[in-house]
C-alpha cells in the first residue's frame, strides 16, 4: 500500500469541516514546504550513505530512513499536484555525486540519523496541532510516528554495536521536597546547587548535537569547493567546538559524563559528494534547529549561569545562520518559502 493510501485510510483525522477540498492554510503551506525541502536534502545525503555503507546492519537502517524520506516527499508532491501548487525545487540528483568516496565511517551514520531524526520530529510534532486539513494532519501525525519508530531502531542498533552513550545516572530522591530558598536559582554568586535532572538532560542533548554537528562541519569543510563556503564551515567548527566544550565542562563540574566527540569518524576525503548549495543549506538548517533546542533548554534551566549561556549561544547561532543565508542569497541558492501577499506592493501596482 502506498503512503498516500495509508494516510487516506486513517479515519480518526477525517471530518466534514476539514476535508481535502479546503485550500491549504499558511501553517500547512509552511510545514509542507519545510518538510519537502528538508527531505529532498535527506534523500541526497542518505542515498550516498546507503551506497557506501559497508556494515550490512547499518546499511539497512540508513536504507529504511531513506525510504521514509522518499515517502514523505512523494506524498507532498502528490498534494502539490492536486492543488496545482508549484513544487519546490529542493535538492535533486544535481546536488549529489554518488561516485564520490564517503565522508564518514559507517558508525557515524547512526549518530547522524539520530541528529537528523531530532530535527524532523521537531517539524512534524509542531505541525500536528497547527494544521486543520484532515489529510495534512494525518500526514504529519504519521510522519511523527514513523520518525519515532526510526529513532527507536537507531538506538537499538547503537546498543547492538556498543556505541550508545547514556546521560549520567543520578541518585533517586529519598522523599518529595519543595524549593525553599531563592538561592536555588544561583549560578554566578553564592552557593551554587548541583544540576537538576532537566538541566542535565538538555546539557547532554546539546552536547551530543554539537559533537555530531562539528563532525559534519569538519567533513564539509574538507569537501567544499568555494573558499567562501569552506570558510563558513570552518567558522561553524569553532562555534560547535566552543559550545561542546562549555556544555561538557558544566557537566563535568558535577562529575557527570558527557557524550564523546565524533571527529575521528570523519574520513580523509576531499572529493565532494554534495554540492556547496546542499552543504550550506544543511548546516544552516541544523543551526536553525539548534536555536530551538537552546530555547527549549533555557526554559528548563533554573540556574542563572546555565540559562545565560544558552541565551548568549542563541545569539551567536542566530548571527551564524544569518551570515549563511547571505552567502546562499548571493549565489542564488536560497529558495523562498511561501509568504503572505505584499499588500503595499499590490496597492502600488
In this structure, how many other beta carbons lie within 10 angstroms of the beta carbon of residue 82? 10
Phi-psi region of 214 (alpha: psi -120 to 50; beta: other; left: phi over 0): alpha
Q: Which of 234, 329, 332 lies closest to 283 in space, CA to CA?
A: 234
Helix, strand, coil distribution of the chain in percent, nearest 5: 70, 0, 30
Residues 261 and 216: beta-carbon distance below 8 Å:
no
Given pLDDT bands bounded at 50, 70 and 90, which one contains residue 180?
confident
What's the number of CA atoms in the CB half-sphere (13 Å) around residue 218? Answer: 19
Total residues belonging to the chain: 349
Residues 205 and 259: beta-carbon distance below 8 Å:
no
Residues 79 and 32: beta-carbon distance below 8 Å:
yes
What are the structural domains, with CATH classification, of the chain?
3-160 (1.20.1260.10), 182-330 (1.20.1260.10)
CA distances (Å), 173 to each of 84, 206, 240, 301, in order? 58, 25, 34, 19
Given pLDDT bands bounded at 50, 70 and 90, which one contains residue 74?
very high
- Mean pLDDT, all residues of the chain: 92
Dump pLDDT digits (tens) for 200-228: 999 999 999 999 999 999 999 999 999 99
Is pLDDT larger for residue 327 or for residue 342? Answer: 327
Dump pLDDT digits (tens) for 131-165: 999 999 999 999 999 999 999 999 999 999 999 88
Q: In whole angstroms, give the CA distance from residue 336 to residue 339.
A: 8
Amino acid at each position: 500500500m502506498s503512503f498516500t493510501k495509508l494516510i487516506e485510510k486513517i479515519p480518526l483525522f477525517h471530518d466534514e469541516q476539514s476535508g481535502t477540498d479546503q485550500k491549504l492554510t499558511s501553517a500547512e503551506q509552511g510545514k509542507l514546504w519545510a518538510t519537502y525541502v528538508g527531505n529532498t536534502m535527506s534523500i541526497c545525503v542518505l542515498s550516498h550513505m546507503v551506497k557506501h555503507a559497508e556494515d550490512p546492519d547499518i546499511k539497512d537502517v540508513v536504507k529504511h530512513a531513506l525510504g521514509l524520506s522518499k515517502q514523505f516527499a512523494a506524498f507532498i508532491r502528490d498534494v502539490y499536484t492536486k492543488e496545482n501548487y508549484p513544487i519546490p525545487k529542493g535538492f535533486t540528483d544535481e546536488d549529489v555525486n554518488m561516485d564520490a568516496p564517503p565522508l564518514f565511517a559507517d558508525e557515524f551514520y547512526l549518530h547522524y540519523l539520530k541528529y537528523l531524526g531530532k530535527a524532523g520530529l521537531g517539524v512534524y510534532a509542531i505541525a500536528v496541532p497547527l494544521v486543520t486539513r484532515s489529510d495534512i494532519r494525518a500526514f504529519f501525525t504519521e510522519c511523527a510516528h514513523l520518525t519515532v519508530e526510526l529513532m527507536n531502531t537507531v538506538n537499538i542498533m547503537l546498543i547492538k554495536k556498543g556505541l550508545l552513550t547514556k546521560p549520567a545516572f543520578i541518585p533517586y530522591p529519598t522523599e518529595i521536597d519543595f524549593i525553599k530558598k531563592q538561592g536555588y536559582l544561583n549560578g554566578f554568586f553564592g552557593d551554587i546547587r548541583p544540576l537538576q535532572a532537566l538541566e542535565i538532560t538538555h546539557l547532554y542533548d546539546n552536547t551530543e548535537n554539537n559533537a555530531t554537528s562539528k563532525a559534519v562541519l569538519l567533513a564539509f569543510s574538507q569537501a567544499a569547493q568555494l573558499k567562501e563556503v569552506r570558510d563558513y564551515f570552518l567558522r561553524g567548527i569553532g562555534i560547535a567546538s566552543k559550545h561542546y566544550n562549555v556544555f561538557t565542562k558544566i557537566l563535568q563540574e558535577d562529575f557527570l559524563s558527557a557524550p564523546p566527540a565524533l571527529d575521528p569518524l570523519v574520513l580523509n576525503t576531499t572529493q565532494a559528494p554534495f554540492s556547496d548549495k546542499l552543504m550550506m543549506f544543511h548546516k544552516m538548517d541544523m543551526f536553525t534547529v539548534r536555536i530551538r533546542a537552546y530555547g527549549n533548554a533555557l526554559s528548563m534551566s533554573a540556574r542563572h549561569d546555565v540559562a545565560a549561556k544558552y541565551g548568549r549561544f542563541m545569539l551567536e547561532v542566530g548571527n551564524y545562520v544569518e551570515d549563511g543565508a547571505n552567502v546562499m542569497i548571493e549565489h542564488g541558492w536560497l529558495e523562498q518559502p511561501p509568504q503572505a501577499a505584499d499588500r503595499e506592493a499590490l496597492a502600488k501596482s
